Amino acid sequence: MSRKPFRHFWAIWRAASEDEASLPSRPLSQRYHTPNVPPRKIEFRSWLTRCSGLRFIVTSREEIMRLFDLSGKTALITGSTKGIGRASAEALAAANARVVISSRTAEDCERVAAEIRDAGGDATPIPANISRDDELEDLVKTTEEKLGPVDVLVCNAAVNPYHGPFLDIPDDAFEKTIRVNIRSNMRLAKRVIPGMQKAGGGAIVVISSIAGFKGSDMLGTYALTKAADAQLVRNLAVCYGKDNIRANGIAPALVKTDFARKLWENEERARQVAESYALKRLGEPDDIAGAVHFLASDAGAWMTGQTLIIDGGWSVYE
């Protein structure tokens, strides 16, 4: 009888053992921070598949899905009644997170939360204007009372009240942009981080913009705040990485939402902008939501302090 199949089996066995040996020495169940998956089940399956040489085939799907699972996690997403925030809330709810739906408009929060619940998700409406300190405090306090500490914070809501020459911006518009786009994100982070420290970790995602990577005249102050958001996540990453708290940003190009409507509602203008993107189309909110999900979950467990550019290939296009 040919010894080939045995040699083949032995090669797989050795490869699997070497692969396992090259991984950190912690047991598989502790490598990721998903308390809801019974460790014994993972260890047994890992052992069985390693012994049988089928490790590559059998374990992968469930383990990969587990990296994205947010069961038992509470996710607070600001500005989640529409656009990128809503799409992100839907993605996190689909991954089993308890999501908080928030914006300035109470009826919208109720409606969107009800729609997510109808689709099988767990959503709680908590309205708040993030430019007001007392409402920010209420937002986190009510979340903690209803759902426990925040595991995932998505700082998504932002404003851009002025479009015009950079240095001509009125003081009140300048202060509002700084207050909503930077200060509120800092305050939210400051408020949720103690709970994350107690829980053994957490994830913060800040929605920045590609506007923050280039000089800008007409969108100058908005761009300034979006550049600051990229620095905010670097600072948070450095300060709280030791507590297993990750902070990352996402910098989208033009996404078809109400916020950017003026830039894409004219068909000819939208076509011209799309032409400057390698993928030849503008973004949709779901194009950003997948990255929020990745950064919020254990799939992004070793990523912190970065701002992901999601721009349809604009920044690499000649």
Ligand X SMILES: NC(=O)c1ccc[n+]([C@@H]2O[C@H](COP(=O)([O-])OP(=O)(O)OC[C@H]3O[C@@H](n4cnc5c(N)ncnc54)[C@H](OP(=O)(O)O)[C@@H]3O)[C@@H](O)[C@H]2O)c1
The footprint of ligand X (CB under 6 A) covers 78-79, 81-85, 103-105, 108, 129-131, 156-159, 180, 207, 209, 252, 254-255, 257-260
Give the number of other Cβ atoms within 10 Å of residue 213's Cβ: 17
The answer to whether 239 and 194 are in contact (CB under 8 A) is no
Instruction: Name the 3-class secondary structure at 99.
Output: strand
- The one catalytic residue among 222, 240, 277, 317: 222
Q: Cβ closer to ligand X: 190 or 198?
A: 190
222 belongs to the catalytic site: yes
Distance CA 36, CA 72 (A): 7
Residue 235 CB, shortest distance to ligand X, in Å, is 18
Residue 256 CB, shortest distance to ligand X, in Å, is 7
Residue 153 CB, shortest distance to ligand X, in Å, is 14
The answer to whether 147 and 124 are in contact (CB under 8 A) is yes
Distance CA 231, CA 221 (A): 15
Residue 74 CB, shortest distance to ligand X, in Å, is 18
The answer to whether 112 and 123 are in contact (CB under 8 A) is yes
Phi, psi of 315 (to 5 degrees): -75, -10
Q: Cβ closer to ligand X: 117 or 179?
A: 179
Q: Cβ closer to ligand X: 55 or 256?
A: 256
Q: Cβ closer to ligand X: 97 or 139?
A: 139
Distance CA 181, CA 192 (A): 17
Distance CA 289, CA 295 (A): 10
Residue 5 CB, shortest distance to ligand X, in Å, is 56
Residue nearest to ligand X (CB): 83
Q: Cβ closer to ligand X: 53 or 312?
A: 312
Beta bridge partners of 98: 74, 122
The answer to whether 170 and 117 are in contact (CB under 8 A) is no
Distance CA 125, CA 22 (A): 45
Residues annotated as catalytic (active site), given as ranges: 222
